[in-house]
Amino acid sequence: MVDLVIKTLDGELMEDKKRPLRTTLYGEGIFETFRYNGSLPKSITKHYERLSKGADLLSIPRITLEDYIYYIEKSLDLAEENNVGKDLYIKTVLLSEGGDYYALKPYKSHLLVIIKPYKQPKKEICLTVSPYRVNSSNPLLRFKTTNYMLNVLAKRYAIEKGYDDAILLNEEGYITETTSANIFWIKGRCLYTPSLECGLVEGITREKILRKAREVDLEVKEGKYKLKDLFEADYIFVSNSLNGIIKVKRIDFIQS
């Protein structure tokens, strides 16, 4: 049985062929992904704020928080009418509309909402190291943009090698994140994670983890770390807003 997927554009059901041109041509879009289980996450405003900051970077006209939530809730109504389920995956994508010359700024935006059944992730995952480097000076790395092909290539590389995901390194060989999650490790009473200046998404769940770690008196160390810094970790895990925290069982440190 194929899972039903609901796609709406500004709250209305859309056909696959209907896509704003600039996002298709240039990857000029910003997305957020989260889990819906009976209610919107408490962090929904933070998702909106990060999406809006990314829109500002790409000069995509913002939508209001009220419209953002309205389009999601309208899409959820359609999902309910079509019996998609109660525990759901939601992706919101702010798409850009405008002329096809690449230097132009978009003059309009649309919110694409994709809803489908949430699938439980593995409890433990194995990671490899991506052969493709990111550049820490790239401002796009701070947001979830539809310029996503490097992540796609790294994810495919990991799967083809028999792993679940890949660690991305920057131009200096410092750890940034995986293709879809922030990464952390614990050694003794210290929690380590790459600093934002390494070139990574400022994860919403990442912020929660750092705050909680300080509340339980773990020493938090954000910094520049290389793969060797993971060797003696007591516990390694990744996090994102969709799946929460997932333990890392094994890492392949050999890059081919």
Listed in order, the ranges of the chain carrying CATH 3.30.470.10 are 6-117
118-152 per-position pLDDT tens digit: 999 999 999 999 999 999 999 999 999 999 999 99
- Per-residue pLDDT, 156: 98
- Per-residue pLDDT, 19: 64
Per CATH, domain 124-251 is 3.30.413.10: no
- Per-residue pLDDT, 7: 84
- Per-residue pLDDT, 13: 84
- Per-residue pLDDT, 4: 79
CATH architecture observed for domain 6-117: 2-Layer Sandwich (3.30)
The 3-class secondary structure across 102-156, one letter per residue, is CCCCCCEEEEEEEEEECCCCCCEEEEEECCCCECCCCHHHHCCECCCHHHHHHHH
* Tokens describing residue 198: 């390494």
Give me the residues of the chain with pLDDT under 50, please.
256
Burial class (CB in 10 A: 0-12, 13-18, 19+), 151: buried
- Per-residue pLDDT, 9: 85
- Per-residue pLDDT, 37: 95
Listed in order, the ranges of the chain carrying CATH 3.20.10.10 are 124-251
> Which of 82, 83, 69, 89 has the alpha carbon at shortest distance from 11?
69
* Tokens describing residue 61: 């006209």
Residue 167 contacts residue 175 (beta carbons within 8 Å):
yes
